[in-house]
Structure 1
Amino acid sequence: MPPKDNDAKPLRELVVTGVNAVFLSLERLAGGLVTALMALFALTALTVVLLTCLLGIGLLFLPAALRVVRAVADRERHRLTRWGPPVPSPGGDDGPRTAVAALVSLVRDVRVRRDLAWLACHSTLGLVTGLLGVLLPVIAVRDSTFPLWWWLLPPDTAGASIGVPVHDWYTALAVGLMGVAWGAIMFGFEPGLAWLQSWPGRRLLGPHSRIVLNERIAELTVTRAAALRSHTSELRRIERSLHDGAQSRLVSVIIQLGSARRMLQTDPARADSALERAQTAAEDALAELRGLVRGILPPVLETHDLEGALSALAAGCSVPCTVEAGDLGSVASSIEATAYFAVAEAVTNITRHSGAGRAGIRIDREGDTLYVHIHDDGGGGATESGGTGMSGIRRRVEAHDGTFAVDSPVGGPTRIRVELPCAS
């Protein structure tokens, strides 16, 4: 008996999965049928408006017609987003407000033309697939149960759903078997019909490649400009540090060494203290140079991997801090440095401002993206405008085409998420 139960379990799971897929497909097709009827109405209204534009009257209604098209398309985008990958709205205004703007949109705006192409597809293909998807279950239930109630119908009206007349029990049973066949067709075709109904929307209502390219160029222009500004600021900081710090100390060393050299001839006893001051100044200059170099590229990354470097940061945190790391593979040194500085700034904020009892760092890699998560159970309230260095982390991350997000409601907890592309 147990082996039979084990064999039956996968079959039950398969049946449950199939039934669930059919019901989900039916729900998708019903929703698509609603938007298809809306699209048919919008297409009819737009056609009437365009025809009356030849007389000049339709120009008054053209902006409103295009806004209706946008609203119907946005409704379909929302529906498609519920059942799969998101289909974002193009954003901006709801549509043109004047007749001239409407005409320009029809001629030049690729998004309007793609919305209109979807409107034509969905009001025909979407309507047909939606009707088939909704009627198939009705027909299957109607015909499969037909032998139970056919005898209650008047003799001249009894018949199958496809119009076959029924006058005896044999034909009624045949209609019942036909209903079972309709049910099998429903199980096999409902998911395919749902996919076919949504395919034009996913092809036409998503961002156009030209628009995506333009948005990407604009985004890269902004991030590159920010990276150049950050790079210039960093160079100026290094220049000031060298000029005001290490250079001044080295000049002091040179002066003290010259003074000690003269003292060796006139007052050898005082020369020893002058040499000692020169040595101290040289050590201070060396320490300042080391700190400056450490701010450019952390030496700990030269001697440890990224996980080890982050463990060292966690060990220096004032609150208990754990580090979890997955398989990171080979990561470029600039990406490692950016991740390290982001965590270092976050750990500094935890130490100084959070009042947390515990903190954690998690770093992992999925494909060509490095994910860094820092969280603590402190008081929250961390913002990029609060002078906590968050804006500096964002500039570093976006310079590598990464993303940076802070979730820190007042009262806590604080969660920081960094995503960095690390394709080899």
Structure 2
Amino acid sequence: MAVPSVGRRETVLRAVSAALAAMRQLTGGLGTALLAFFLLGAIALNAVACLVGAGLLTAPVVLRALHALAGRERERLGRWGGEVVAPDPPPTGLRPALADPVTRRELRWLARHGTLGLLLGLLGVLLPLCAVRDTTFPLWWRLGPGDATTTSVGIGTAHSWPDALAAALLGVGWVAILLGLGPGLARTQAGPGRRLLAAGPDVDLSLRVAELTATRAAALDAHATELRRIERSLHDGAQNRLVSVTVLLGAARRMAGRDPAGADELLERAQSAAEQALAELRGVARGILPPVLADRGLAGALSGLAADCAVPCRVEAEVPGRCAASVEATAYFVVAEALTNIAKHSGARRASVTVRGGGGRLRVLVEDDGRGGADEGGGSGLTGIRRRVAAHDGSLRLASPPGGPTTLEVDLPCGT
């Protein structure tokens, strides 16, 4: 089956966006790679000077420069992905520092980043320049000198339009390389830093314990909030209706003998109140675990939410198998709360919900073209969404700049 044009356009836009992000990451890594290259030379000179004793005086300065550059690289990598947790501060003495595993890992990172990282950073700068230069060559080749090389790699000279068009084809090849290999080059440049500059497994374990403790607290808080919501719904809704039914039935029983018409009217009101109480009880039950999830699955349940949304909403769901019921319920409530916010606050003309499942994860993306400016502290329900997601050890990312668009991305483990 042919892929719709909208899907192809979105695929191309995602590829271009990923390539541009990769080029920015490679270019940013070029700065630290240049510093790493010069610091490698300084360390080599200092090591030679240490043989005659003079280098012992400058070695602490070189080590401090190494730790500072490693810290700068951790900050840079944190801006482009997951946080690189810094280890404990290394010892200050020369001998303890050289025996410290953190310093040794930083030296290994320095050697790799100052060589391979520098080469990849240069590619991140040169490849876009070559792509622009060769792709646009037919537009200006007649304005240059006659003996100018045709391509950015210095091969051939342009004497005719076919030569110029051949250079443009090479430029298209550079663009294809950027789109296909750019993200991989960025990951290769960042890989040594993420492996060697992160804290050791003992620190990771303590951080994981702290994270799980916070997650458990969020789960308990979300559970308590849900219980309060259910209690409030029952108390303010169904319970009041049932009390009204009891009062009306008692009044009707007393009036049955002397005023049958009035008793019938009270019985009709009691029946109406009982029907309303049943409707509210069904609403509370659906709020606990929507039965539509069991009947139609997550994709069908989300399609129902989109159909009821006041803003035109498109749903695209690719979930090969079923997730845990609690995970599906969380995804359902996330989308329901997000669409409610869009309808009430965003002023959007359209919205979209994308759900992808695979690799043991469930990813939910809700987007709208509204005015943006969504804030968790604004009472829009985003805090509740975050607590629900945290209870499953998931992650939530919100991007809502003023003027829009707004993107809410949730990543959940599928569970068993």
- TM-score with structure 1 setting the length: 0.61
- Does residue 276 (structure 1) correspond to residue 268 (structure 2)? The answer is yes
Q: Give the whole-Å Cα distance in 2 for the aligned partners of 1:386 and 1:393.
A: 13
Q: Give the whole-Å Cα distance in 2 for the aligned partners of 1:295 and 1:46.
A: 71
1:117 touches 1:204 (CA, 8 Å); kept in 2? no
1:118 counterpart (105, 116, 134): 105
Residue 238 of structure 2 corresponds to 246
2:86 touches 2:199 (CA, 8 Å); kept in 1? no
Residue 261 of structure 1 corresponds to 253
Shift of 1:122: 7.0
Q: Kindly provide the amino acid, as one letter, of the partner of residue 291 in structure 1.
A: G
Q: Give the whole-Å Cα distance in 1 for the aligned partners of 2:302 and 2:191.
A: 46
1:384/1:272 Cα in 2 relative to 1: closer, same or farther (>3 Å)? same
Q: Report SS of the residue matched to 1:385.
A: helix
Residue 90 of structure 1 corresponds to 85
Shift of 1:69: 3.8
Q: Give the whole-Å Cα distance in 2 for the aligned partners of 1:348 and 1:199.
A: 41
Shift of 1:359: 1.5
Shift of 1:375: 1.0
1:77/1:224 Cα in 2 relative to 1: closer, same or farther (>3 Å)? closer
- Does residue 220 (structure 1) correspond to residue 220 (structure 2)? The answer is no
2:67 touches 2:106 (CA, 8 Å); kept in 1? no
Structure 1 range deviating more: 347-356 or 337-346: 347-356
Structure 1 range deviating more: 389-398 or 252-261: 252-261
- Does residue 70 (structure 1) correspond to residue 62 (structure 2)? The answer is no
1:229/1:112 Cα in 2 relative to 1: closer, same or farther (>3 Å)? farther
1:320 touches 1:359 (CA, 8 Å); kept in 2? yes
Q: Kindly provide the amino acid, as one letter, of the partner of residue 70 in structure 2.
A: A
Q: Report SS of the residue matched to 1:338.
A: helix
Q: Give the whole-Å Cα distance in 2 for the aligned partners of 1:279 and 1:409.
A: 50
1:360 touches 1:374 (CA, 8 Å); kept in 2? yes
1:247/1:370 Cα in 2 relative to 1: closer, same or farther (>3 Å)? same
Q: Kindly provide the amino acid, as one letter, of the partner of residue 201 in structure 2.
A: S
Q: Kindly provide the amino acid, as one letter, of the partner of residue 422 in structure 1.
A: C
2:345 counterpart (350, 353, 377): 353
1:211/1:261 Cα in 2 relative to 1: closer, same or farther (>3 Å)? same
Shift of 1:341: 0.9
1:126/1:289 Cα in 2 relative to 1: closer, same or farther (>3 Å)? closer
Shift of 1:34: 4.5
1:355 touches 1:378 (CA, 8 Å); kept in 2? yes
Shift of 1:299: 2.6
Shift of 1:344: 1.0
- Does residue 36 (structure 1) correspond to residue 29 (structure 2)? The answer is no
Q: Give the whole-Å Cα distance in 2 for the aligned partners of 1:237 and 1:391.
A: 15
Post-superposition Cα deviations, 1:126-163, rounded to whole Å, max 9, x if no partner, equal: 79x99xx9xxxxxxxxxxxxxxxxxxxxxxxxxxxxxx
1:376 touches 1:413 (CA, 8 Å); kept in 2? yes
Q: Kindly provide the amino acid, as one letter, of the partner of residue 85 in structure 2.
A: P
Q: Give the whole-Å Cα distance in 2 for the aligned partners of 1:242 and 1:50.
A: 77
Structure 2 matches for 1:198-217, cutoff 5 A?
204-217=196-209
Q: Give the whole-Å Cα distance in 2 for the aligned partners of 1:324 and 1:272.
A: 52
Shift of 1:388: 1.7
Shift of 1:214: 1.2
1:51/1:292 Cα in 2 relative to 1: closer, same or farther (>3 Å)? same
Q: Give the whole-Å Cα distance in 2 for the aligned partners of 1:297 and 1:242.
A: 16
Residue 180 of structure 1 corresponds to none
Q: Report SS of the residue matched to 1:304.
A: helix
Q: Kindly provide the amino acid, as one letter, of the partner of residue 376 in structure 1.
A: D
- Does residue 236 (structure 1) correspond to residue 236 (structure 2)? The answer is no
Structure 2 matches for 1:37-52, cutoff 5 A?
37-40=41-44
In structure 2, the gaps of 5 or more residues are 1-25, 120-188
Residue 354 of structure 2 corresponds to 362
1:35 touches 1:75 (CA, 8 Å); kept in 2? no
Q: Kindly provide the amino acid, as one letter, of the partner of residue 40 in structure 2.
A: A
* Aligned residue pairs, count: 312
1:77/1:412 Cα in 2 relative to 1: closer, same or farther (>3 Å)? closer
1:317/1:216 Cα in 2 relative to 1: closer, same or farther (>3 Å)? same
Q: Give the whole-Å Cα distance in 1 for the aligned partners of 2:410 and 2:260.
A: 61
Structure 2 matches for 1:18-417, cutoff 5 A?
34-40=38-44, 67-74=64-71, 89-91=84-86, 102=92, 113-118=100-105, 204-417=196-409
1:33 touches 1:126 (CA, 8 Å); kept in 2? no
Q: Report SS of the residue matched to 2:377.
A: coil
1:345/1:29 Cα in 2 relative to 1: closer, same or farther (>3 Å)? closer
Q: Report SS of the residue matched to 2:203.
A: helix
Post-superposition Cα deviations, 1:209-262, rounded to whole Å, max 9, x if no partner, equal: 111111111112112212211211221222222223222322222232233233
1:327/1:294 Cα in 2 relative to 1: closer, same or farther (>3 Å)? closer
Q: Give the whole-Å Cα distance in 2 for the aligned partners of 1:87 and 1:343.
A: 25
- Larger-Rg structure: 1
Shift of 1:296: 1.6
Q: Give the whole-Å Cα distance in 1 for the aligned partners of 2:75 and 2:49.
A: 22
1:268/1:308 Cα in 2 relative to 1: closer, same or farther (>3 Å)? same
